[in-house]
Amino acid sequence: MAIAVSSVQDICRSAKAAARALAQVDTAVKDAALEAIAAALVDRSEEILAANDRDMQLAIESDLSAALLDRLRLDSGRIEAIAAAVGQIVALPDPVGEIIDGHRLPNGLDVRKVRVPLGVVAVVYEARPNVTIDAAALCLKSGNAIVLRGSSTAMHSNAALADIAARAAVAAGLPAGCVSLVAGGGREELAELATQRDSVDLIIPRGGESLKEALAAVATVPVIYAASGNCHIYVDASADLDRAEAIVMNAKTQRPGVCNALETLLVHEDVAAEFLPRALRALGDAGVLVRGDECTLAIAEQSKAPDGGRGAAVVEPATEEDWASEYLSLTLAARVVGSAEQAIEHIGRYGSGHSEAIVTGDTTSARAFQLGVDAACVYVNASTRFTDGGEFGMGAEIGNSTQKLHARGPIGLRELCTFKYLIEGDGHVRA
């Protein structure tokens, strides 16, 4: 296993050699390796927590935001959940070798389109030590070697987790180099990893816009961007307002520091005067700061109670920047719109293509929203918080792709594969 002491080039070459062997490993061996990883995580949880405590202390001293601290923090429950996610991946069908399509040509040649591993997948991520295991398990199950590059913020946590996963996998029969961690270094190291075209087949960055921009500037290896989530919920004129309030509160407050959390609330003008006061009270009780347009500000002012509006959210004027912001905190942009078409237009202009939702009782509006919104995940009468590989039955995910090629939405086992055509003949030659 390569951790820290080897050069980026050597780590990637070792991963390439491992990928060739891993592509031919039986499902039973891969599953046994994942089971060994899950067991090792639980058995060595005290070691993981000790490493995470070091990272948390340094992060607190560095004045990291509450959202980043939440992403970084591990406890026994989260470690058990990570191990359970590995177990869920074991239970999933192996995508390698799956026949996507097949037919016999008129000349007698048999053609099969078969799913195969990508090869070496590099995952670059920030302040999320759980990604170390989620990504490793998904790559190994799909027959890929993985090169991990976490942030310095989670350095100790990632090192402990990667070491545990690599040792358990190799002991269970997978090739050395199948799980590697690139540790230390800065942007120069990231650039080196992003240009290993001879050995790395794909890079998946999971982090903020600065990470995405840094990779886009230098990468020669193909990239799937698991990018930011400026997610919207549109409350339509026909919405059940009790349902709408519950969905908005869940999407915004259940875990505000994640990419599928609500960032902008859009409300139809016909229900704004009724819905916004109750929504602002609930948001205020949860400590949410609202940045609203003129109509939202006016409704907030009119709905204040004589005692000053106890429990109501603080509402500040929104700027153009707010509509495009991924807050990852208890801050929410709010706007009143005149129609579903205006809501769709707003999302098209400011959305990041991640997850968007409509709350409505009208099937025509729901259908228009589904067809008109360009995003990886489009919800009707449900919270955006469900955009997650685990929730979608994928066991886990490496990230959520907001692009259209080669994967979109949660990146799971099948998204970590490509395909090849297998053609069988009987002495065929082309005339």
Tens of pLDDT, residues 36-54:
999 999 999 999 999 999 9
Q: What is the CATH number of the domain that holds 200?
A: 3.40.605.10
- Considering the domain architecture, whether residues 83 and 204 belong to the same structural domain is answered as yes
**Residue of 208, 207, 228 whose CA lies nearest to 355:** 228
CA count, 13 A, side-chain hemisphere, 29? 14
Instruction: Judge if 110 and 213 occupy the same domain.
Output: yes
Residue 254 within a domain: yes
Cβ atoms within 10 A of the Cβ of 277, count? 18
Residue 202 shares a structural domain with residue 239:
no
pTM attached to this predicted model: 0.87
Does residue 392 belong to any structural domain of this protein?
no
The answer to whether position 35 is within a domain reads yes
Same domain, 277 and 328: yes
Q: Supply the pLDDT for residue 114.
A: 98
Contacts of 288 (CB under 8 A, 6+ apart): 252, 253, 313, 330, 331, 332
Domain count for the chain, please give it: 2
- The CATH number of the domain where 263 resides is what? 3.40.309.10
Q: Hunting for tokens 């029969």 — which residue is that?
A: 173
pLDDT grade for 246, boundaries at 50, 70 and 90: very high
More confident residue, 389 or 292: 292
- On the 0-12 / 13-18 / 19+ scale of CB atoms within 10 A, 329 is middle
Among 55-59, 214-218, 383-387, the minimum mean pLDDT is found in 214-218
Residue 309 has pLDDT above 70, yes or no: no
The answer as to whether 401 is a domain residue is: no
For residue 427, name the pLDDT band (cuts at 50, 70, 90). Answer: very high
Q: pLDDT averaged over the chain? A: 93
- For residue 260, which phi and psi values (nearest 5 degrees)? -100, 15
219 and 251 belong to one structural domain: no
Q: From 7, 416, 20, 408, select the one nearest 203 (Cα to Cα).
A: 416
Average pLDDT over residues 309-333: 89
User: What's the angle, vertex CA 105, arms to CA 99 and CA 110, rounded to 5?
Assistant: 45
Q: Say how far residue 1 (Cα) sits from the centre of its chain.
A: 26
* 105 & 144 share domain: yes
At which residue do the structure tokens 């191990």 appear? 83
- Give the C-alpha separation, 127 to 206, whole Å: 10
1 assigned to some structural domain:
no
What's the confidence (pLDDT) of residue 189?
Answer: 87
The half-sphere exposure of 399 on its side-chain side, counting CA atoms within 13 A, is 25
- pLDDT confidence of residue 4: 42
Residue 107 in domain: yes
- 412 and 355 share a domain? no
Average pLDDT of the segment spanning 2-30: 89
Is residue 354 located within the same domain as residue 261? yes
Same domain assignment for residues 377 and 420: no
pLDDT in tens, 188-199: 888 999 999 999
Confidence of residue 313 (pLDDT cuts 50, 70, 90): confident
Do 213 and 261 have their domain in common? no
pLDDT at 311 over 90: no
300 and 334 in contact (C-beta within 8 Å)?
A: no
**For residues 24-30, average pLDDT:** 97
- Go through 84-107 and write b for each residue having 16 or more CB atoms within 10 A of its CB, e for each that does not: ebbbbbbebebbbeeeeeeeeeee
Average of per-residue pLDDT across 326-344: 96
* Contact (Cβ atoms closer than 8 angstroms) between residue 394 and residue 92: yes
Percent of all residues in the chain with a pLDDT value above 90, rounded to a whole number:
83
Q: For residue 239, give its domain range.
A: 231-386
Res 307 pLDDT > 60: no
Residue 251 confidence (pLDDT) above 50: yes
- What per-residue confidence (pLDDT) applies to 24? 96
Is residue 2 domain-resident?
Answer: no
- Please report whether residue 429 resides in a domain: no
CA 420 vs CA 99, 115, 117, 407: distances in Å = 10, 7, 10, 17
For the segment 96-109, the average pLDDT, to the nearest whole number, is 97
- Mean pLDDT of the region 269-296: 97
Residues 211 and 62 in one domain: yes
Same domain, 107 and 239: no
Assign 407 to helix, strand or coil.
coil
Distance of alpha carbon 340 from alpha carbon 348, whole angstroms:
12
Question: Strands 417-424 and 110-117, how do they pair?
Answer: antiparallel
